[in-house]
Structure 1
Amino acid sequence: MARTPSNMLPLGTTLPAATLPNVDGSSVSLEQQVGDKGLLVMFICNHCPFVIHIAPQLASIVQQLKEKGIGVVAISSNDPVAYPADAPDKMGDFLAQYQLQFAYLFDESQAVAKAFDAACTPDFYLFDGDKKLVYRGQLDESRPGNGVAVTGSDLLAAAALVADGKAPAEDQKPSLGCNIKWRDA
Protein backbone atom coordinates (compact mmCIF):
# COMPACT_ATOMS: atom_id res chain seq x y z
CA MET A 1 0.00 0.00 0.00
CA ALA A 2 1.48 3.31 -1.11
CA ARG A 3 1.74 6.00 1.54
CA THR A 4 0.99 9.30 -0.19
CA PRO A 5 0.52 12.59 1.73
CA SER A 6 -1.86 15.43 0.90
CA ASN A 7 -0.59 18.19 -1.36
CA MET A 8 -2.00 20.80 1.09
CA LEU A 9 -4.01 23.13 -1.16
CA PRO A 10 -3.45 26.74 0.03
CA LEU A 11 -5.71 27.93 2.84
CA GLY A 12 -8.17 30.55 1.64
CA THR A 13 -8.75 28.77 -1.69
CA THR A 14 -12.35 29.14 -2.86
CA LEU A 15 -14.44 25.96 -3.13
CA PRO A 16 -14.04 24.76 -6.73
CA ALA A 17 -17.29 24.72 -8.69
CA ALA A 18 -18.29 21.20 -9.68
CA THR A 19 -21.37 19.13 -10.41
CA LEU A 20 -20.93 15.36 -10.41
CA PRO A 21 -23.13 12.25 -10.52
CA ASN A 22 -24.15 10.86 -7.13
CA VAL A 23 -24.51 7.14 -6.43
CA ASP A 24 -28.31 7.58 -6.47
CA GLY A 25 -28.18 8.80 -10.09
CA SER A 26 -28.81 12.47 -9.33
CA SER A 27 -26.43 15.29 -10.21
CA VAL A 28 -25.04 17.12 -7.20
CA SER A 29 -23.18 20.41 -7.14
CA LEU A 30 -20.68 20.97 -4.37
CA GLU A 31 -22.22 24.39 -3.71
CA GLN A 32 -25.58 22.71 -2.98
CA GLN A 33 -23.93 20.71 -0.20
CA VAL A 34 -22.57 23.68 1.78
CA GLY A 35 -24.19 23.84 5.21
CA ASP A 36 -24.78 27.00 7.24
CA LYS A 37 -21.26 26.76 8.66
CA GLY A 38 -19.39 25.11 5.79
CA LEU A 39 -18.62 21.98 3.83
CA LEU A 40 -16.31 19.01 4.20
CA VAL A 41 -15.18 17.49 0.91
CA MET A 42 -13.56 14.06 1.26
CA PHE A 43 -11.73 12.23 -1.50
CA ILE A 44 -12.23 8.55 -0.75
CA CYS A 45 -12.62 5.28 -2.61
CA ASN A 46 -13.98 1.82 -1.91
CA HIS A 47 -10.81 -0.28 -1.83
CA CYS A 48 -8.10 1.80 -0.12
CA PRO A 49 -6.91 0.28 3.19
CA PHE A 50 -6.60 3.78 4.67
CA VAL A 51 -10.24 4.56 3.82
CA ILE A 52 -11.44 1.15 5.01
CA HIS A 53 -9.55 1.79 8.28
CA ILE A 54 -11.57 4.95 9.02
CA ALA A 55 -14.86 3.87 7.42
CA PRO A 56 -16.40 2.29 10.56
CA GLN A 57 -16.09 5.65 12.38
CA LEU A 58 -17.11 7.91 9.49
CA ALA A 59 -20.85 7.75 10.22
CA SER A 60 -20.31 9.15 13.72
CA ILE A 61 -17.85 11.81 12.52
CA VAL A 62 -20.19 12.89 9.71
CA GLN A 63 -23.10 13.14 12.14
CA GLN A 64 -21.05 15.39 14.42
CA LEU A 65 -20.17 17.63 11.47
CA LYS A 66 -23.79 17.87 10.36
CA GLU A 67 -24.82 18.81 13.92
CA LYS A 68 -22.36 21.71 13.66
CA GLY A 69 -24.00 22.93 10.43
CA ILE A 70 -21.29 21.55 8.15
CA GLY A 71 -22.36 19.72 5.00
CA VAL A 72 -20.46 16.62 3.92
CA VAL A 73 -19.77 15.16 0.50
CA ALA A 74 -17.37 12.46 -0.68
CA ILE A 75 -15.80 12.10 -4.12
CA SER A 76 -14.18 9.10 -5.76
CA SER A 77 -11.77 10.03 -8.54
CA ASN A 78 -10.03 6.69 -9.00
CA ASP A 79 -9.81 5.07 -12.43
CA PRO A 80 -12.46 2.31 -12.29
CA VAL A 81 -11.01 0.52 -15.32
CA ALA A 82 -7.73 -0.17 -13.53
CA TYR A 83 -9.49 -0.49 -10.12
CA PRO A 84 -12.90 -2.14 -10.65
CA ALA A 85 -13.62 -2.14 -6.89
CA ASP A 86 -13.92 1.66 -7.18
CA ALA A 87 -16.44 1.58 -10.04
CA PRO A 88 -19.55 3.74 -9.58
CA ASP A 89 -21.80 0.67 -9.30
CA LYS A 90 -19.86 -0.37 -6.17
CA MET A 91 -19.99 3.02 -4.43
CA GLY A 92 -23.54 2.58 -3.13
CA ASP A 93 -22.53 -0.76 -1.61
CA PHE A 94 -19.71 1.00 0.25
CA LEU A 95 -22.14 3.55 1.70
CA ALA A 96 -24.55 0.81 2.76
CA GLN A 97 -21.83 -1.37 4.29
CA TYR A 98 -20.70 1.44 6.61
CA GLN A 99 -24.15 3.07 7.02
CA LEU A 100 -22.88 6.37 5.61
CA GLN A 101 -25.28 9.24 4.95
CA PHE A 102 -23.73 11.67 2.47
CA ALA A 103 -23.57 12.27 -1.26
CA TYR A 104 -20.87 10.06 -2.79
CA LEU A 105 -19.92 11.51 -6.16
CA PHE A 106 -17.97 10.02 -9.06
CA ASP A 107 -15.33 12.20 -10.74
CA GLU A 108 -14.96 10.28 -13.99
CA SER A 109 -12.82 12.92 -15.73
CA GLN A 110 -10.68 13.40 -12.60
CA ALA A 111 -10.95 17.17 -13.21
CA VAL A 112 -12.39 17.80 -9.75
CA ALA A 113 -9.54 15.95 -8.03
CA LYS A 114 -7.12 18.08 -10.05
CA ALA A 115 -8.98 21.28 -9.09
CA PHE A 116 -8.52 20.34 -5.40
CA ASP A 117 -4.93 19.19 -6.00
CA ALA A 118 -6.05 15.97 -4.28
CA ALA A 119 -3.32 13.38 -3.93
CA CYS A 120 -4.56 10.56 -1.74
CA THR A 121 -7.49 8.71 -0.25
CA PRO A 122 -8.62 9.79 2.20
CA ASP A 123 -7.99 13.49 1.62
CA PHE A 124 -10.04 16.06 3.59
CA TYR A 125 -10.93 19.67 2.72
CA LEU A 126 -12.98 21.82 5.11
CA PHE A 127 -14.51 25.03 3.75
CA ASP A 128 -16.19 27.67 5.89
CA GLY A 129 -19.62 29.18 5.23
CA ASP A 130 -18.02 31.64 2.80
CA LYS A 131 -16.68 28.68 0.80
CA LYS A 132 -13.05 29.41 1.72
CA LEU A 133 -10.67 26.56 2.58
CA VAL A 134 -9.83 26.65 6.29
CA TYR A 135 -8.55 23.12 6.91
CA ARG A 136 -6.95 20.44 4.78
CA GLY A 137 -5.17 17.51 6.18
CA GLN A 138 -5.52 14.46 8.34
CA LEU A 139 -8.60 13.13 10.06
CA ASP A 140 -6.46 12.21 13.08
CA GLU A 141 -3.24 10.33 13.92
CA SER A 142 -4.72 6.86 13.26
CA ARG A 143 -3.30 4.80 10.40
CA PRO A 144 -3.75 1.13 9.53
CA GLY A 145 -1.66 -0.92 11.92
CA ASN A 146 -0.46 1.89 14.23
CA GLY A 147 -2.83 0.99 17.10
CA VAL A 148 -4.22 4.53 17.42
CA ALA A 149 -8.02 4.68 17.58
CA VAL A 150 -9.91 6.53 14.83
CA THR A 151 -11.51 9.56 16.49
CA GLY A 152 -11.49 12.28 13.83
CA SER A 153 -9.90 14.56 16.44
CA ASP A 154 -7.95 16.85 14.10
CA LEU A 155 -10.83 17.38 11.68
CA LEU A 156 -13.46 17.70 14.41
CA ALA A 157 -11.36 20.28 16.30
CA ALA A 158 -11.08 22.36 13.12
CA ALA A 159 -14.82 21.96 12.48
CA ALA A 160 -15.69 23.10 16.00
CA LEU A 161 -13.70 26.30 15.44
CA VAL A 162 -15.36 26.88 12.05
CA ALA A 163 -18.81 26.35 13.59
CA ASP A 164 -17.92 29.03 16.17
CA GLY A 165 -16.83 31.45 13.44
CA LYS A 166 -13.12 31.02 14.20
CA ALA A 167 -10.28 29.97 11.94
CA PRO A 168 -8.36 26.76 12.68
CA ALA A 169 -4.62 27.05 13.24
CA GLU A 170 -2.68 27.18 9.99
CA ASP A 171 -0.24 24.49 11.15
CA GLN A 172 -2.04 21.41 9.82
CA LYS A 173 -0.77 17.89 9.23
CA PRO A 174 -1.31 16.33 5.80
CA SER A 175 -3.53 13.34 5.39
CA LEU A 176 -1.83 10.10 4.44
CA GLY A 177 -3.28 7.38 2.28
CA CYS A 178 -3.17 5.59 -1.03
CA ASN A 179 -2.44 7.72 -4.07
CA ILE A 180 -5.36 8.62 -6.31
CA LYS A 181 -5.41 6.14 -9.18
CA TRP A 182 -5.00 8.43 -12.18
CA ARG A 183 -6.04 7.33 -15.63
CA ASP A 184 -3.34 6.97 -18.24
CA ALA A 185 -3.22 10.12 -20.34
Structure 2
Amino acid sequence: MLQALTLLLVFQLVGEVIVRAFALPVPGPVIGMALLFAALMLRGGPSESLRETAGSLLQHLSLLFVPAGTGVILYGSRLAEEWLPLTAALLGSTFLTIALTALLFVAMPGRAQDLIDFQVPGGDAAVQAPWRIALSYLHAAYGAELPDLPFLAGHECGVILEMVQKRLNSPLTSSCGRLFDAVA
Protein backbone atom coordinates (compact mmCIF):
# COMPACT_ATOMS: atom_id res chain seq x y z
CA MET A 1 0.00 0.00 0.00
CA LEU A 2 2.86 2.38 0.80
CA GLN A 3 4.45 1.81 -2.62
CA ALA A 4 1.15 2.46 -4.37
CA LEU A 5 0.55 5.64 -2.36
CA THR A 6 4.08 6.77 -3.17
CA LEU A 7 3.42 6.11 -6.86
CA LEU A 8 0.26 8.23 -6.77
CA LEU A 9 2.06 11.08 -5.00
CA VAL A 10 5.07 10.91 -7.35
CA PHE A 11 2.81 11.28 -10.39
CA GLN A 12 1.04 14.20 -8.70
CA LEU A 13 4.44 15.81 -8.00
CA VAL A 14 5.55 15.28 -11.61
CA GLY A 15 2.32 16.92 -12.76
CA GLU A 16 2.96 19.91 -10.47
CA VAL A 17 6.53 20.26 -11.74
CA ILE A 18 5.38 20.19 -15.38
CA VAL A 19 2.64 22.77 -14.74
CA ARG A 20 5.02 25.13 -12.96
CA ALA A 21 7.86 24.63 -15.46
CA PHE A 22 5.68 25.39 -18.48
CA ALA A 23 3.18 27.76 -16.78
CA LEU A 24 0.25 25.61 -17.90
CA PRO A 25 -3.29 26.70 -16.96
CA VAL A 26 -4.14 23.18 -15.77
CA PRO A 27 -3.94 21.83 -12.20
CA GLY A 28 -0.82 19.72 -11.61
CA PRO A 29 -2.76 16.72 -10.28
CA VAL A 30 -4.72 16.57 -13.55
CA ILE A 31 -1.48 16.36 -15.55
CA GLY A 32 -0.17 13.78 -13.07
CA MET A 33 -3.36 11.73 -13.39
CA ALA A 34 -3.10 11.80 -17.20
CA LEU A 35 0.53 10.66 -17.03
CA LEU A 36 -0.37 7.90 -14.55
CA PHE A 37 -3.18 6.76 -16.84
CA ALA A 38 -0.80 6.64 -19.82
CA ALA A 39 1.80 4.71 -17.79
CA LEU A 40 -0.81 2.22 -16.59
CA MET A 41 -2.13 1.70 -20.13
CA LEU A 42 1.39 0.95 -21.35
CA ARG A 43 1.90 -1.42 -18.42
CA GLY A 44 -1.37 -3.26 -18.98
CA GLY A 45 -3.33 -1.89 -16.04
CA PRO A 46 -2.86 -1.12 -12.36
CA SER A 47 -1.50 -3.58 -9.83
CA GLU A 48 -3.80 -4.98 -7.17
CA SER A 49 -2.00 -2.88 -4.55
CA LEU A 50 -2.65 0.29 -6.55
CA ARG A 51 -6.31 -0.67 -7.01
CA GLU A 52 -6.74 -1.18 -3.26
CA THR A 53 -4.94 2.06 -2.38
CA ALA A 54 -6.92 4.12 -4.90
CA GLY A 55 -10.15 2.50 -3.70
CA SER A 56 -9.31 3.35 -0.10
CA LEU A 57 -8.53 6.96 -1.02
CA LEU A 58 -11.77 7.29 -2.97
CA GLN A 59 -13.71 5.83 -0.06
CA HIS A 60 -12.47 8.66 2.19
CA LEU A 61 -12.49 11.42 -0.44
CA SER A 62 -14.97 13.54 1.50
CA LEU A 63 -12.34 14.08 4.22
CA LEU A 64 -10.27 16.05 1.72
CA PHE A 65 -12.99 18.72 1.67
CA VAL A 66 -12.71 19.41 5.43
CA PRO A 67 -9.82 21.93 5.06
CA ALA A 68 -11.77 23.89 2.44
CA GLY A 69 -14.83 23.98 4.69
CA THR A 70 -12.70 25.10 7.63
CA GLY A 71 -11.18 27.85 5.48
CA VAL A 72 -14.62 29.12 4.54
CA ILE A 73 -15.71 29.19 8.18
CA LEU A 74 -12.60 31.14 9.21
CA TYR A 75 -13.59 33.91 6.81
CA GLY A 76 -17.18 34.22 8.04
CA SER A 77 -16.93 38.00 8.46
CA ARG A 78 -15.68 38.36 4.88
CA LEU A 79 -18.58 36.21 3.69
CA ALA A 80 -20.97 38.50 5.54
CA GLU A 81 -19.42 41.56 3.89
CA GLU A 82 -19.49 40.14 0.35
CA TRP A 83 -22.61 38.01 0.45
CA LEU A 84 -24.17 39.63 -2.62
CA PRO A 85 -21.32 38.96 -5.11
CA LEU A 86 -20.87 35.45 -3.71
CA THR A 87 -24.57 34.69 -4.00
CA ALA A 88 -24.62 36.11 -7.53
CA ALA A 89 -21.61 33.96 -8.49
CA LEU A 90 -23.18 30.80 -7.03
CA LEU A 91 -26.57 31.40 -8.64
CA GLY A 92 -25.02 32.50 -11.94
CA SER A 93 -22.76 29.46 -12.19
CA THR A 94 -25.65 27.15 -11.27
CA PHE A 95 -27.89 28.75 -13.90
CA LEU A 96 -25.10 28.60 -16.49
CA THR A 97 -24.52 24.89 -15.78
CA ILE A 98 -28.22 24.09 -16.11
CA ALA A 99 -28.53 26.18 -19.30
CA LEU A 100 -25.50 24.55 -20.95
CA THR A 101 -26.74 21.09 -20.01
CA ALA A 102 -30.14 21.88 -21.54
CA LEU A 103 -28.47 23.21 -24.71
CA LEU A 104 -26.44 20.02 -25.02
CA PHE A 105 -29.58 17.90 -24.72
CA VAL A 106 -31.26 20.00 -27.42
CA ALA A 107 -28.18 20.01 -29.67
CA MET A 108 -27.73 16.25 -29.47
CA PRO A 109 -31.23 14.78 -29.84
CA GLY A 110 -31.48 11.03 -29.64
CA ARG A 111 -27.84 10.49 -28.68
CA ALA A 112 -28.80 8.89 -25.36
CA GLN A 113 -30.70 6.20 -27.26
CA ASP A 114 -27.49 5.26 -29.07
CA LEU A 115 -26.27 3.33 -26.03
CA ILE A 116 -26.83 -0.37 -26.48
CA ASP A 117 -28.57 -2.44 -23.83
CA PHE A 118 -26.29 -4.86 -22.04
CA GLN A 119 -26.49 -7.07 -18.98
CA VAL A 120 -24.90 -6.31 -15.63
CA PRO A 121 -23.74 -9.70 -14.28
CA GLY A 122 -24.35 -9.75 -10.55
CA GLY A 123 -26.52 -6.63 -10.59
CA ASP A 124 -25.32 -3.82 -8.34
CA ALA A 125 -22.51 -6.02 -7.00
CA ALA A 126 -20.83 -5.77 -10.43
CA VAL A 127 -19.89 -2.16 -9.67
CA GLN A 128 -17.36 -3.56 -7.17
CA ALA A 129 -15.85 -5.66 -9.99
CA PRO A 130 -16.01 -3.41 -13.08
CA TRP A 131 -14.29 -6.03 -15.24
CA ARG A 132 -17.61 -7.94 -15.18
CA ILE A 133 -19.42 -4.96 -16.66
CA ALA A 134 -16.67 -4.52 -19.26
CA LEU A 135 -16.93 -8.21 -20.19
CA SER A 136 -20.70 -7.99 -20.53
CA TYR A 137 -20.44 -4.82 -22.62
CA LEU A 138 -17.86 -6.49 -24.89
CA HIS A 139 -20.15 -9.53 -25.20
CA ALA A 140 -23.05 -7.25 -26.20
CA ALA A 141 -20.86 -5.50 -28.78
CA TYR A 142 -18.88 -8.45 -30.19
CA GLY A 143 -20.97 -11.52 -29.37
CA ALA A 144 -18.98 -14.72 -28.91
CA GLU A 145 -15.96 -13.28 -30.80
CA LEU A 146 -14.51 -11.43 -27.80
CA PRO A 147 -11.15 -9.72 -28.28
CA ASP A 148 -8.27 -11.00 -26.14
CA LEU A 149 -7.67 -8.25 -23.58
CA PRO A 150 -4.98 -8.36 -20.87
CA PHE A 151 -7.18 -6.82 -18.15
CA LEU A 152 -9.46 -9.88 -18.29
CA ALA A 153 -6.61 -12.31 -17.57
CA GLY A 154 -6.96 -14.01 -14.21
CA HIS A 155 -10.71 -13.42 -13.96
CA GLU A 156 -13.36 -16.12 -14.23
CA CYS A 157 -14.71 -14.89 -17.56
CA GLY A 158 -16.40 -18.19 -18.38
CA VAL A 159 -18.66 -18.02 -15.32
CA ILE A 160 -19.65 -14.42 -16.03
CA LEU A 161 -20.30 -15.13 -19.72
CA GLU A 162 -22.48 -18.08 -18.70
CA MET A 163 -24.44 -15.78 -16.37
CA VAL A 164 -24.93 -13.33 -19.24
CA GLN A 165 -25.92 -16.01 -21.77
CA LYS A 166 -28.40 -17.64 -19.37
CA ARG A 167 -29.58 -14.24 -18.07
CA LEU A 168 -28.88 -15.30 -14.47
CA ASN A 169 -28.84 -12.36 -12.04
CA SER A 170 -27.90 -10.10 -14.97
CA PRO A 171 -30.40 -7.25 -15.32
CA LEU A 172 -30.44 -5.23 -18.55
CA THR A 173 -29.25 -1.63 -18.54
CA SER A 174 -28.29 1.07 -21.00
CA SER A 175 -26.98 3.32 -18.25
CA CYS A 176 -24.13 5.62 -19.17
CA GLY A 177 -22.88 5.21 -15.59
CA ARG A 178 -22.44 1.48 -16.10
CA LEU A 179 -20.60 2.28 -19.34
CA PHE A 180 -18.18 4.44 -17.33
CA ASP A 181 -17.80 1.56 -14.84
CA ALA A 182 -16.92 -0.74 -17.74
CA VAL A 183 -14.29 1.68 -19.01
CA ALA A 184 -12.83 1.98 -15.50
**Shorter-normalised TM-score: what interval?**
under 0.3
TM-score by length of 1: 0.18
Q: Select the structure that is richer in helix.
A: 2
| Greater RCO structure (CA 8 Å; 6+ sep) | 1
Which structure has the bigger radius of gyration?
Answer: 2
